[in-house]
Amino acid sequence: MKKGLIIIYTGNGKGKTSAAMGSALRAVGQGLKVLMLQFIKGSWDYGELESIKRLTPDFIIQPMGKGFIHLKSKQYDKEVKENISQSWKHAKDEILSDKYDMIILDEINYVISYGLLPVEEMLTLLEKKPKRLHLILTGRDAHKKIIEKSDLVTEMNEIKHPFSKGVKAQKGIEF
């Protein structure tokens, strides 16, 4: 029986979601079924949503968020909290269903680091997940307890970004 890995892509640089999607594409190419649950993204039309439709039912993306929230304020309205609660319940159900070989919880590290989900809930789920399931967690500020529990951690480090020179997000690159 194979061991499902817990993988984290974190850090202040770009590429966390892209790295997870690269892992997912590799998995689909090997005949695995993949689900990506996006916790914050939801209001924009991201390019990956269109391209992944071509890989359905082997690779499914479900944007569950309401779009970017003001994370640094730590003042969240009822709608944001309810959305995160429902999204977390859905994620737990999917993980425990044992229907997939890989599940990506995109931006879950943000959700935890900003206090919208207690780290203990994630740690409990990591213990209960099917042994064969690969689970990928993305987003900045991965919690040290989750890092300790994981098998692979990659930190994206921003060295240079066009935004610092006033270049806005580019279609096909950032979204």
Could you give the domains of the chain? 6-156 (3.40.50.300)
Residue 142: per-residue pLDDT = 98
Residue 43: per-residue pLDDT = 58
Give residue-wise pLDDT tens across range 43-83: 556 777 788 888 999 999 999 986 555 555 555 678 888 88
Q: Is 127 exposed, middle or buried (0-12, 13-18, 19+ CB in 10 A)?
A: exposed
Q: Quick one: tokens of 88?
A: 């977390």
DSSP 40: S
- Regions in the chain scoring below 70 on pLDDT: 1, 42-45, 66-76, 175
Residue 40: per-residue pLDDT = 84
d(CA 75, CA 87): 19
Q: Considering the entire predicted model, what is its pTM?
A: 0.90
d(CA 69, CA 118): 18
Residue 73: per-residue pLDDT = 54
Q: Is 117 helix (H, G, I), strand (E, B) or coil?
A: coil
For residue 93, CA distances in Å to 8, 44, 86, 89, 96 come to 21, 25, 11, 6, 5
For residue 76, CA distances in Å to 84, 106, 116 come to 11, 20, 9
Residue 131: per-residue pLDDT = 96
